[in-house]
Amino acid sequence: MRPVIITANWKMNTSPADAGPLARSIAEATDIAGVTRVICPPYVALAAVKDALTGTDVAVGAQNVHAESKGAFTGEISAGMIADLVTWSIVGHSERRRDQLESDQLIGRKIVRLIEAAIRPLLCVGELLEEREAGRAIRTVEAQVRGALEVVVAEGHAVPADLVIAYEPVWAIGTGRTASGADAAEMADAIRATLAEMAGVAPAEATAVLYGGSVTSASIGEFLDEAAVDGALVGGASLKTDEMAGIVARAGITAAARSLVAGVAH
C-alpha cells in the first residue's frame, strides 16, 4: 500500500521568527493517522522549523539543493550542509525549471547528491500549456522522469526506493485554469510506466505520485479520489493552518480507506 503524503512548499515566504510557530500550528492541526506530512520552509527557517516540530512526526524538507557537494558556488546550499536539518528535499520544481533554466540532467545530479546525503528526493515534473495543447503532455513528463533518473543510474546508483514524484501541471498553476483528477491520474500512470521500464514494475507501483497544481482544501478531494494519486505538494495553501487542516483531513479519509482495502485483501 502506497503512503498518503501531504507536503507543504512554503517557497520564499516566512522568516525564522514566524516559521516555527506556523509549523507547530500546522502540526497540531493535522495530526491525522495514516498521513505522512512534510514541511519545506526556506533554508533560513529550517532550524527553527525543525525545533518547532520536535516531538511530532512531521518531517522537514528543503526546497532545493545544489548539484555539487561543495565548491566555489557563491550563495548555494549543498545537500550535505542541511543533512542534519532535513530528511526530504524537493528537486526540479517548475519554478526552478522556469526561472533558473534547470535541465533534467542537472536535476538528476541533484538527486545523486541527495542519495549521497541520505535525504529523500521529491522530484517535480510537469508540462507547459503549449506542450499540453500540442498533445505532448505525457511525452514531456516521461522525458523529464527519464532524463533525471538516467543521470542517477549513470552515476552508479539505483533509482531510489524512497523516491516520490510530484506531477505539476504548469499550465494550471496560478493561471486560473484547472487540471482534473483524471488529468492527474493519467499522468501518474504515465510516470509509473516510465519508472517500470527503468526500475521494474514492483518499485514503480510502490512509488508515491503526488499532485502539485495549486491544490486547496476545496479541490483536494477530486485528486485523492483517484487511486493513482497519493497526496499533494501544496503551495500557497500550505501557509494557512486551516487550509492544511482541511487538506490533511481529506487525505486521512483516503489513507483510512486504503488501509481498510489492504486489510480486506489480506
CA distance 67 to 75: 13
Per-residue pLDDT tens digits for 100-153: 999 999 999 999 999 999 999 999 999 999 999 999 999 999 999 999 999 999
Q: How many domains, in total, are found in the chain?
A: 1
157 is catalytic: no
pLDDT, residue 229, reads 98
- pLDDT over threshold 90, residue 175: no
Active-site choice (102, 142, 168, 186): 168
CA distance 78 to 93: 17
Per-residue pLDDT tens digits for 28-67: 999 999 999 999 999 999 999 999 999 999 999 999 999 9
Active-site choice (93, 95, 186, 243): 93
**Amino acid residing at 249:** A
93 is catalytic: yes
Residues paired with residue 40 on neighbouring β-strands, in sequence order: 9
CA distance 144 to 75: 27
- pLDDT over threshold 70, residue 266: no
pLDDT classification of 265: cutoffs 50, 70, 90: low
Q: Which domain holds residue 102?
A: 4-265
* pTM for this entry: 0.96
Q: What is the CATH number of the domain that holds 241?
A: 3.20.20.70
